[in-house]
Structure 1
Amino acid sequence: YDVYINQKKYRFMLDTGSSLTVLDNKIADKVSKRITEKEYYLPVTQLVSSNKNSTNDILFYHSPTMFFGQEQIYTSKIIALDLSHLKETIGEQIDGILGIDVFNQFIWEVDNSNGKLNIYKDKKIKGNYKNVINYREDDYPYFKLYKKNKSKDQNKEWITLHFALDTGAATSSLDPIIKNYMIVNNYNNKNLGRNSVDFMNKIESSNLVFIEDLEFGDEPPIKRMNFTYNKINKNLLGLDFLKRFDRFIFYPFQQKFYYNEMSFNPDPEPLRMIGVR
């Protein structure tokens, strides 16, 4: 997304898995002043480890005045990191990362079928949506997905999986403990292939698992969806999950997710996975 600072346009990425908004360290010195006291706390640790930095590499800055078009973005402080690796990974210059602190200030409407994003501030849902589901908010937006056991053990018929939405991850992944539990208890999974690392380095290069018939809201079960391990012991939904919806809205003011049709085409089985750096 385009974000304006001092009337100059910068390119930002939205990452619901980031607790704070980030600026590239080369830009931060030009648009803001450094906060001298050390303010390190747990949510930052994940971002630091994913970028292979130490806490000494984190620099806090006063938030500059930032805008989406005419709408101001409000943040108390930002952190500065070297974001050059993002350009290497996605092939586009990224000047900053909008974290969950910004996500919760706006309504986000995504039209995947037309490749459009609308950002609202006025708390009005525009357009007609057939379905709505509540999500909860901790450090991330959390959804519930349900999985039915295919075995005859009625005491383990259903499992409820809590997934954090992480738009900084291209693919979805499982806590290794949950993944192993589902395999042992015959929740209709299939292991094959290998998966490469996502751009924030949260995903392990490990066995890929396909899970059949996950249930989301009142929709028919999601046909085969692939997952891998992650390093942070959470179940994560990446962008591959959101791409299944034709249109959807995140409404953080009421913690609601509006959506229309969902694609139930199964994820394809890979012929061969080749990791490229």
Structure 2
Amino acid sequence: MRRSPLLLTLLLVFQTVFAQNYDMPARASDLASPTNLTLLPLKSKHYAVEVMINDKGPYKFMIDTGSAVSVISQRLANKLNLTKIKQVKYTRDDKKYNASLYRIPKMTLNDAQIFDYDVLVYPEPSFIGYMKKSFNEDIDGVLGIGAFYHYLLTLNLPEKELTLHSGELSADKDTKTYQNQEKIPIVSVVFKDPKHSKKMSFVVDTGSNEQFTLPPTVKTLPFKKISSQKILTGSHYGEKAAMKVKITANAMWEDKEFEDPTVVYNTGLYDSNVNFGVMGLGVMKRLKITFDQKKHLVKVE
């Protein structure tokens, strides 16, 4: 079976437990013009950017638009002598865990600066440790989409570029409103063939390198299978088997069409108390996507 790492467990734990209070920096600098950061490919097929913290670095942080909050390694939090704000508790699979919240006074992303940003140190086993163990990939943390709340965030995957802008999107024919009940961008995708149509919700998630991972409630689809294979999906909670299926259908996200998409059936991959799936880098790699988190708007090019 082929390893296909998905940042699903991390995503759902963070967005349901922590996002209420720790999902954005206190403030950010204004930008006279857009600033660009290079998206660095990781061995896990995710992407990272380099940032400075308190004028030190650079440090490598993976980008995860499927998480509202951000994570830093305990090692780097100690090295930078960051202030521990508080201990937070959460439950996963009926087990109780503790995480520590640390404050970053200043993070610099090229010309952009964010201030007083509270980030989590996740207990072991952590996703940072999983990346090292499984892929020999060293990252210093994970930046959730909330890190960019005060800016327009553009991810241009074909050009491997992340751009931050001051300003806002206009609600017009080129933009669409996304669901924001979890403080992450959740959109509607329609799967259809000549006889069937099924509409489902998906979080736009750079933490997954698949095309579509189905919502937990979806056990079967009415479309013809082209091929199927068992895969391993990995996270710091371990690796689980899942079924990946290529289907004869078109997946439509607004005016973007994906022919014969692949879907991963979510059987115990992440918490079952959500009604959305995950649309990952397998889709996003073709697109340029801009998020306005304040107005809950997305523009897809």
- TM-score bracket, normalised by the shorter chain, equals 0.7 to 0.9
2:270 to 231, 240, 259: 231
Match of 2:213 in 1: 173
Does the CA contact (< 8 Å) of 2:178 and 2:187 recur in 1? yes
Q: Tell me how far 1:163 sits from its aligned partner.
A: 0.6
Structure 2 CA distance for partners of 1:112 and 1:99, relative to 1, 3 Å: closer
Higher relative contact order (CA 8 A, sep 6+): 2
Tell me whether 1:240 sits opposite 2:282 in the alignment: yes
Q: What is the root-mean-square deviation of aligned Cα atoms in Å?
A: 3.0
Structure 2 CA distance for partners of 1:227 and 1:2, relative to 1, 3 Å: same
Structure number, greater radius of gyration: 1
Q: Deviations over 1:224-265 (max 9, x none)?
A: 1112123233411111110122x33223233222233xxxxx
Quick check: which one's strand share is greater?
Answer: 2
Q: Tell me how far 1:75 sits from its aligned partner.
A: 5.2
Structure 2 CA distance for partners of 1:18 and 1:109, relative to 1, 3 Å: closer
Q: Tell me how far 1:111 sits from its aligned partner.
A: 2.9
CA distance in 2, matches of 1:226, 1:203: 20
Match of 2:141 in 1: 96
- Write out aligned runs for 1:193-272 (5 A): 193-199=229-235, 204-211=240-247, 212-219=249-256, 221-228=257-264, 229=266, 230-233=269-272, 234-245=276-287, 247-260=288-301
Tell me whether 1:34 sits opposite 2:84 in the alignment: yes
CA distance in 1, matches of 2:129, 2:187: 32
Match of 2:199 in 1: 160
Q: Report how many residues are paired.
A: 236
1:236 maps to amino acid: V
3-state SS in 2 of match to 1:187: coil
Quick check: which one's helix share is greater?
Answer: 1
Tell me whether 1:60 sits opposite 2:101 in the alignment: yes
Match of 2:190 in 1: 146
Structure 2 CA distance for partners of 1:169 and 1:54, relative to 1, 3 Å: farther
Gaps of 5+ in 2: 1-48
Q: Deviations over 1:167-192 (max 9, x none)?
A: 21111311243132x2xxx2344551
Match of 1:136 in 2: 179
Does the CA contact (< 8 Å) of 1:34 and 1:61 recur in 2? yes
- Which TM-score applies when normalising by structure 1? 0.72
Does the CA contact (< 8 Å) of 2:107 and 2:113 recur in 1? yes
Does the CA contact (< 8 Å) of 2:64 and 2:143 recur in 1? yes
Q: Tell me how far 1:76 sits from its aligned partner.
A: 4.8
- Write out aligned runs for 1:7-22 (5 A): 7-9=55-57, 10-22=59-71
CA distance in 2, matches of 1:202, 1:214: 30
Does the CA contact (< 8 Å) of 1:169 and 1:199 recur in 2? no
Does the CA contact (< 8 Å) of 2:70 and 2:143 recur in 1? yes
2:197 maps to amino acid: W
Gaps of 5+ in 1: 152-156, 261-277
Q: Tell me how far 1:203 sits from its aligned partner.
A: 7.5
CA distance in 2, matches of 1:168, 1:215: 21
CA distance in 2, matches of 1:198, 1:119: 30
1:114 maps to amino acid: E
Structure 2 CA distance for partners of 1:122 and 1:90, relative to 1, 3 Å: farther
Structure 2 CA distance for partners of 1:176 and 1:209, relative to 1, 3 Å: farther
CA distance in 2, matches of 1:202, 1:248: 31
Q: Tell me how far 1:85 sits from its aligned partner.
A: 2.2
Q: Tell me how far 1:18 sits from its aligned partner.
A: 2.5
Structure 2 CA distance for partners of 1:137 and 1:75, relative to 1, 3 Å: farther
Match of 1:264 in 2: none
Match of 1:6 in 2: 54
Match of 2:110 in 1: 69
2:242 maps to amino acid: S
2:103 maps to amino acid: H
- Which TM-score applies when normalising by structure 2? 0.67
CA distance in 2, matches of 1:68, 1:7: 11
3-state SS in 1 of match to 2:84: coil
Q: Tell me how far 1:121 sits from its aligned partner.
A: 3.0
Does the CA contact (< 8 Å) of 1:135 and 1:141 recur in 2? yes
3-state SS in 2 of match to 1:2: strand
Does the CA contact (< 8 Å) of 2:208 and 2:281 recur in 1? yes
Structure 2 CA distance for partners of 1:33 and 1:75, relative to 1, 3 Å: closer
